[in-house]
Amino acid sequence: MASLRGASAFVTGGGSGIGRAICVDLAKHGCHVTVADVSDAGARATADLAGPNATPVYCDVASSASQEAAFADHIRRNGGLDIAVLNAGIPERGDLLSAQDDSWRPTLDIDLGAVLDGIRLASQAMAPAGGRREGRQGVLITVASAGGFFSMPFSPVYAAAKAGVVHATRSVAKPLLERNIRICALCPEFVDTPLVAEARAQSGPQSPFYRATAGTLLTADKVAEAAHVLITDPNRVGQCLVLRMTGEWMEAVPPSQTLQYIPRPATSTSPIVPAWREWATQGLAGGRTTRTVMIRRLSNDFRAATRLETRPVPAPGPGQVLLRTVYAGINASDINYTSGKYHASTAAAEAQLPFPSGFEAVSVVAEVGPGVKHPRPGQAVATMVSGSFSDYTLVPARACLDVPGPSPEYVALLTSGLTASIGLQECGRLRKGETVLITAAAGGAGQFAVQLAKLAGCHVIATVGSEDKARLIRSLGADRAVNYRTEDLKAVLRAEYPRGVDVVWESVGGEWFGTCLNALAQKGRLIVIGAMSQYKGPDGWKPMPHRGLPEKVLNKSTTVTGFLLLHYTHEFRRHLALLISLYSAGKLKIILDSPEHVGIKAVPAAVDRLQSGQSSGKVYVRISEDPLPPVGAKL
């Protein structure tokens, strides 16, 4: 269906979340939309948003009669039906395994039964009396879920219902096409809607579901974009489109119309849901070797400096633990490390060559050496020691920091989160009501600096390099986002903050340092976190001359402080626990850059991504190419 203008669409569950975004999009493109929902208020609110092309209609999909009446009403008003989006759904109800009754049943009835009924009603409305539809092709979209493909230990009935929707969609694709109706399924991962909010509230902060949905979720608008493509692209038939939280679209089913049933011999004896403990040692099964990204020569060109090498995995000695890396973090300073900048001198760095790269990871303990009581095998830990770009690392047990699980969010809280938390506390000494300027605010550390400054009650100005990043940083609480590609930071500060700013979080360097220094108010504090703009270039990090620095500092009684995280190791445990508790309480968001980089060979590409300035939030690499245990697997 190339154009939606003049077509008519029926959307169940249009009164909220994904359904609402789809209704608004269809109406915007000239489609006459019936917003069918059991919530009158929700349906009306959507119709108000969508404008005159949208009509709210009461419809309880749990009742076949109610859904039939709503379809009939649509056909009366529009003279036919072109598009139906069967979207209404509810989260898991009751607890299947401990319920004494069938309190779980509404989930199956609404999320599967009502969708099957909707397929029946919509296809009969599009091709009356089972005949072939003439003229414009009909389109049916079922809203299933990525949960239709993976097991959801916390929502088994929901997963069963969604798997049913996927399978029904595939099964009817061919017979419906013979009636000139296309059907496809939308299968999003977690989306930021009231449905997820309700399920989170029910499951509580310690649950695997709560943790699985704690990061950056898809937005309903992104799902509506995918729905738009499925509706308008005539080549999509029977497609089950999985929308990843990383932003990727993946096809879950081959677009074949002749699905084959090929049973295979069950040769695998591994458990269905491997626990993390098994996963951590399974990588040792093929021989005790580990791959490590080694620095062979000093250079700020990461690719030129490093080589992937395979070496034996040593057994842990007394007081040591062997870790299997799950996620490793990427930092602007990785290229300072490869150029030897964190050694006492270039000569000292050269003398140590070759040495391993990467300095932060979240891992799972594979083995522990004699005398180690904590951590235990299978436990998730964070480390901030050299060599994290490796399959396995051997570290002292005392270097392991506790984290609730092996998730990339906790990698973000390491160098990035700790730099913001410790740096602002030790050097920023923020007071409520002060004005704070955060540079590179959409970066790994900047995102936390913005949020922590807001939590401290400050007014936050944030510099970013794109409109998307400006939106992102405003969503984290920034009061003023300055897109330096379209606005002049100096002019903004002069016009809008004539008194100056009290604290600057400066990580860009170069000319920016001067601009930020001049912007300080009396007794202002400037924290030098880094000088990212100076790291690159053929000759590496070259010092900048800053004329008049002593005079400027004196004239306004300002302070310029350097902050290097390495000097604050004694604060790591306390601040990491603090950040984790803020995150668990929903007071701190963690933005992860997407798409995810997978496999140790992807480390250089991830370093490039960070250096390109295109990334938003924390850049990280999933080190292992092996599939990870599913969400909720035992630690």
Ligand X SMILES: NC(=O)c1ccc[n+]([C@@H]2O[C@H](COP(=O)([O-])OP(=O)(O)OC[C@H]3O[C@@H](n4cnc5c(N)ncnc54)[C@H](O)[C@@H]3O)[C@@H](O)[C@H]2O)c1
If DSSP codes are grouped into helix, strand and coil, which group holds residue 626?
Answer: coil
CB of 8 to ligand X, least distance (A): 19
**Cβ atoms within 10 A of the Cβ of 127, count?**
19
Using the minimum distance from each CB to ligand X, give the nearer residue, 39 or 207: 39
The partner residues of 618 in beta bridges, in order of sequence, read 592
Contact call for residues 82 and 75 (beta carbons, < 8 A): no
Which residue among 8, 53, 87, 451 contacts ligand X (CB under 6 A)? 87
Q: Where are the alpha helices (DSSP H) in 8-155?
A: 17-28, 40-50, 64-78, 105-108, 114-126
To the nearest 10°, report the CA torsion of 363, 607, 581, 583.
-120
Which residue among 31, 35, 47, 61 contacts ligand X (CB under 6 A)? 61
Scored b (16 or more CB within 10 A) or e, 142-170 reads: bbbbbbbbebbebbbbbbbbbbbbbbbbb
Using the minimum distance from each CB to ligand X, give the nearer residue, 164 or 188: 188
Using the minimum distance from each CB to ligand X, give the nearer residue, 25 or 60: 60
> Is the Cα dihedral 136, 137, 138, 144 positive or negative?
negative
Which residue among 191, 362, 401, 478 contacts ligand X (CB under 6 A)? 191
Which residue among 194, 317, 510, 537 contacts ligand X (CB under 6 A)? 194
CB of 37 to ligand X, least distance (A): 5
Q: Which residues contact 52 (CB under 8 A, 6 or more apart)?
A: none
Using the minimum distance from each CB to ligand X, give the nearer residue, 19 or 443: 19
Which residue among 11, 195, 473, 582 contacts ligand X (CB under 6 A)? 195
Query: By rule CB under 6 A, what string of x and - marks binding of each residue 10-39 to ligand X?
Result: --xx-xxxxx-----------------xxx
Query: By rule CB under 6 A, what string of x and - marks binding of each residue 467-506 to ligand X?
Result: ----------------------------------------
CB of 307 to ligand X, least distance (A): 42
Q: Under the criterion CB under 6 A, does residue 216 sit at the interface with ligand X?
A: no
Contact call for residues 81 and 72 (beta carbons, < 8 A): no
Dist. CA 392–CA 279, nearest whole Å: 12
Using the minimum distance from each CB to ligand X, give the nearer residue, 170 or 324: 170
Contact call for residues 246 and 596 (beta carbons, < 8 A): yes
Contact call for residues 422 and 568 (beta carbons, < 8 A): yes
Dist. CA 19–CA 36, nearest whole Å: 9
Contact window for ligand X (CB under 6 A) among 88-96, 251-259, 300-308, 407-415: 88-96
Using the minimum distance from each CB to ligand X, give the nearer residue, 15 or 238: 15
Let me know the angle formed at the C-alpha of 369 by 367 and 375, rounded to the nearest 5 degrees: 65
Binders of ligand X among residues 135 to 154 (CB under 6 A) are 143, 145
CB of 229 to ligand X, least distance (A): 17
Q: Which amino acid makes up residue 417?
A: G
Q: Under the criterion CB under 6 A, does residue 226 sit at the interface with ligand X?
A: no
Q: DSSP state, 592? A: B
CB of 42 to ligand X, least distance (A): 4
Using the minimum distance from each CB to ligand X, give the nearer residue, 13 or 509: 13
Which residue among 54, 81, 88, 520 contacts ligand X (CB under 6 A)? 88
CB of 463 to ligand X, least distance (A): 32
Q: Look at strands 520-528 and 559-562 and give their pairing.
A: parallel
Dist. CA 430–CA 614, nearest whole Å: 30
Does an H or E element contain 289, and which? strand 289-295
Q: Under the criterion CB under 6 A, does residue 246 sit at the interface with ligand X?
A: no
Using the minimum distance from each CB to ligand X, give the nearer residue, 193 or 447: 193
Query: By rule CB under 6 A, what count of residues binds ligand X?
Result: 30
Using the minimum distance from each CB to ligand X, give the nearer residue, 209 or 505: 209
Binders of ligand X among residues 411 to 450 (CB under 6 A) are none
Which residue among 47, 110, 242, 623 contacts ligand X (CB under 6 A)? 110
Question: Of 390, 98, 126, 144, whose CA–CA distance to 252 is shortest?
Answer: 144
**Cβ atoms within 10 A of the Cβ of 291, count?**
17
Q: Under the criterion CB under 6 A, does residue 169 sit at the interface with ligand X?
A: no
Using the minimum distance from each CB to ligand X, give the nearer residue, 90 or 519: 90
CB of 61 to ligand X, least distance (A): 4
Find where tokens 């079922």 sit: 142
Contact call for residues 301 and 607 (beta carbons, < 8 A): no
Which residue among 25, 60, 82, 117 contacts ligand X (CB under 6 A)? 60
Binders of ligand X among residues 571 to 630 (CB under 6 A) are none
To the nearest 10°, report the CA torsion of 580, 581, 582, 585.
120
Using the minimum distance from each CB to ligand X, give the nearer residue, 36 or 412: 36
Which residue among 26, 54, 84, 90 contacts ligand X (CB under 6 A)? 90
Which residue among 62, 308, 455, 602 contacts ligand X (CB under 6 A)? 62
Q: Under the criterion CB under 6 A, does residue 117 sit at the interface with ligand X?
A: no
Q: Under the criterion CB under 6 A, does residue 118 sit at the interface with ligand X?
A: no
Which residue among 126, 141, 168, 196 contacts ligand X (CB under 6 A)? 196
Contact window for ligand X (CB under 6 A) among 72-80, 87-95, 231-239, 533-541: 87-95
Question: Of 216, 213, 239, whose CA–CA distance to 226 is shortest?
Answer: 239
Find where tokens 């140790």 sit: 600
Dist. CA 281–CA 248, nearest whole Å: 30
Integer-rounded Cα Rg, in Å, for the chain is 28
**Cβ atoms within 10 A of the Cβ of 594, count?**
16
Find where tokens 């399974």 sit: 282
CB of 25 to ligand X, least distance (A): 13
Dist. CA 271–CA 158, nearest whole Å: 23
Q: Under the criterion CB under 6 A, does residue 104 sit at the interface with ligand X?
A: no
CB of 412 to ligand X, least distance (A): 21
Q: Which residues contact 424 (CB under 8 A, 6 or more apart)?
A: 430, 449, 452, 453, 456, 503, 505, 527
CB of 372 to ligand X, least distance (A): 40
Contact window for ligand X (CB under 6 A) among 23-31, 84-92, 323-331, 559-567: 84-92
The partner residues of 361 in beta bridges, in order of sequence, read 328, 383
Q: Under the criterion CB under 6 A, does residue 336 sit at the interface with ligand X?
A: no
Which residue among 123, 169, 193, 338 contacts ligand X (CB under 6 A)? 193
Contact call for residues 524 and 502 (beta carbons, < 8 A): yes
Using the minimum distance from each CB to ligand X, give the nearer residue, 39 or 299: 39
* Site of interaction with ligand X (CB under 6 A): 12-13, 15-19, 37-39, 42, 59-62, 87-90, 110-111, 143, 145, 188, 190-191, 193-196
